[in-house]
Structure formats: structure tokens, C-alpha cells
């Protein structure tokens, strides 16, 4: 446990993923990037990135939707990159600006709409946005470091 905490401190406070790998010499390595040889022993997900809390009315409605349909869907769409956001959310604006700067196409759900709230509820996620789903990976909140780790430093 101490190693994991120490390794997460080295990767910065907003790392979305921490990779544990074993090198050819048998030593354990922790990094926010996948190992070059592709031998990942374990991947740890972090969802404590800066995010905006949903308004109380929206959070209540999302919870009602979850209770009505308790089995969360893996994704609300077939698109490989999905962003759940709201126009008033500063972190959402940063996430959208990041995706645009990298030329990454994505499907967006506005959680202020009934359709967006229903889709967000199906993800089974927490109460903060933005929420980015990329295939089977999820990032709750926004940080450039986390998004870079997820998208492989695309330029």
C-alpha cells in the first residue's frame, strides 16, 4: 500500500491511471504511462480529478433514474469517446478544449438535458462532471496529465 501511495504521489495529484509493471530485472515499476515492453501487471484507476458537482436537482434526478434502471450500461453509445458535460462546468470546457486541440472526435451528452441525464445515469458514475469514457476506460474530472496518459500524448 505504501508503494502505491508513494508511486501515485510521484505521478502528480491528478493522475488518472497508474501502471504497475515488472521489468526484465524483476524490479517493480510504477508509472503514469504504459511500459514500453507492454507487460502490465496491474492498472489502477483514479477518479479524484478536479470536477464540478452536479446541481442537487440534477443529482437527485440521476439517482432516481439509476434506481429505476439499476443495471448500468457499459456505454450509452457505440462511439469510442463519450463526454458527459454541462455548459456551466469550467472543467468540462477545459476537457472539450483539450479534445478539440488534439483533434479527437467524441460524442457529447449534456447532463442538463433529460437525454443527457438518462445517459449519465446509465454509466453508474459518481456525481461529478466531466466524465470521459474511452472504450472501457473512464476518467471522472479533468486534468491534462490524465487525458495525455489516456490518449498517448497525441499532438
CA dist 53 and 78 (Å) reads: 26
Cis peptide before 80 (omega within 30 of 0): no
Least confident of 46-50, 126-130, 148-152: 46-50
- Rounded to a whole number of angstroms, the distance between the first and last alpha carbons of the chain is 35
Mean pLDDT score of the chain: 74
Domains delineated in the chain: 2-45 (no CATH), 52-151 (3.40.30.10)
- Backbone phi, psi, residue 9, to 5°: -65, -35
Specify the pTM.
Answer: 0.59
Which carries the bigger pLDDT value, residue 11 or residue 44? 44
Strand pairing report for 81-85 and 107-110: parallel
* pLDDT for res 89: 94
Over residues 47-103, the pLDDT tens digits come to 567 777 778 877 777 777 766 665 444 434 445 899 999 999 999 999 999 999 999
Amino acid at each position: 500500500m505504501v508503494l502505491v501511495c508513494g508511486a501515485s504521489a510521484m505521478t502528480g495529484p491528478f493522475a488518472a491511471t497508474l501502471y504497475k509493471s515488472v521489468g526484465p530485472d524483476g524490479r517493480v515499476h510504477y508509472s503514469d504511462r504504459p511500459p514500453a515492453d507492454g507487460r502490465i501487471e496491474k492498472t489502477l484507476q483514479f477518479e479524484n480529478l478536479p470536477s464540478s458537482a452536479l446541481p442537487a436537482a440534477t443529482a437527485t434526478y440521476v439517482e432516481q433514474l439509476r434506481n429505476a434502471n439499476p443495471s448500468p450500461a457499459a456505454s450509452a453509445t457505440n462511439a469510442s469517446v463519450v463526454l458527459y458535460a454541462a455548459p456551466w462546468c469550467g472543467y468540462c470546457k477545459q476537457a472539450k478544449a483539450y479534445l478539440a486541440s488534439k483533434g479527437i472526435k467524441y460524442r457529447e451528452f449534456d447532463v442538463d438535458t433529460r437525454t443527457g441525464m438518462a445517459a449519465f445515469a446509465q454509466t453508474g458514475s459518481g456525481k461529478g462532471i466531466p466524465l470521459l469514457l474511452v472504450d472501457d476506460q473512464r476518467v471522472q474530472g479533468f486534468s491534462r496529465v490524465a487525458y495525455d496518459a489516456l490518449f498517448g500524448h497525441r499532438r
